[in-house]
């Protein structure tokens, strides 16, 4: 049956398979990295009394490094590249601004609901992380780690394992 497919159909099937696989892996890695980020943020905020901005920044850096290292190799199966690293760090800088902005705005807004200090920060983190994750995935999937036709294996129609 695969032999009867046109090149465009094979490419479409390969793209769909890659999309599903990378999205699933991205979500898993993102969840793990978010735990690193949130855990670090709360740890530095409550164990050391650091400011919200400083503790969130440290958490973001630790979560970001975790995400980049795992996503590059496992999620997007991409070879190391200085260009890709620089673009990814710029993307993370953009998502940092989105995250820290929403986190900072979310805290006073959520305090209005009478939540305690811990839960205000957890919910503010979840809102900020959710928005940044969507933005981050779209940029990484369609710009940084997009699959070019020349990277596709001619036989399987998939990106070769790096």
pLDDT at 111: 96
Domain chopping of the chain, boundaries: 2-151
Reported pTM: 0.70
Q: Could you read off the pLDDT tens digit of each residue along the chain, which spans 162 residues?
A: 556 888 888 777 877 776 667 777 888 898 999 999 999 999 999 999 999 999 999 999 999 999 988 988 888 777 888 888 888 889 889 999 999 999 999 999 999 999 999 999 999 999 998 999 889 888 877 887 776 655 555 545 555 544
Q: d(Cα 29, Cα 75) in Å, to the nearest integer?
A: 8
Q: d(Cα 158, Cα 127) in Å, to the nearest integer?
A: 35
Q: d(Cα 117, Cα 84) in Å, to the nearest integer?
A: 38
Q: d(Cα 18, Cα 159) in Å, to the nearest integer?
A: 8
Question: Tokens representing 92?
Answer: 């993370």
């Amino acid at each position: 049956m695969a032999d009867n497919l046109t090149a465009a159909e094979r490419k479409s099937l390969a793209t769909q398979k890659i999309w599903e696989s990378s999205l699933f892996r991205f979500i898993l890695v993102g969840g793990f990295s978010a735990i690193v980020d949130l855990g670090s943020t709360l740890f530095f905020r409550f164990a050391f009394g650091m400011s919200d901005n400083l503790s969130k920044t440290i958490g973001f850096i630790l979560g970001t490094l975790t995400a980049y290292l795992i996503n590059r190799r496992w999620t997007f199966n991409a070879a190391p590249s200085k260009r890709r690293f620089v673009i990814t760090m710029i993307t993370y800088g953009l998502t940092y601004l989105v995250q820290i902005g929403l986190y900072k705005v979310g805290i006073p807004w959520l305090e209005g609901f009478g939540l305690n200090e811990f839960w205000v920060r957890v919910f503010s983190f979840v809102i900020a992380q959710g928005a940044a994750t969507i933005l981050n995935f779209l940029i990484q999937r369609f710009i940084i780690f997009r699959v070019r036709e020349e990277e596709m294996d001619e036989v399987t129609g998939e990106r070769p394992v790096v």
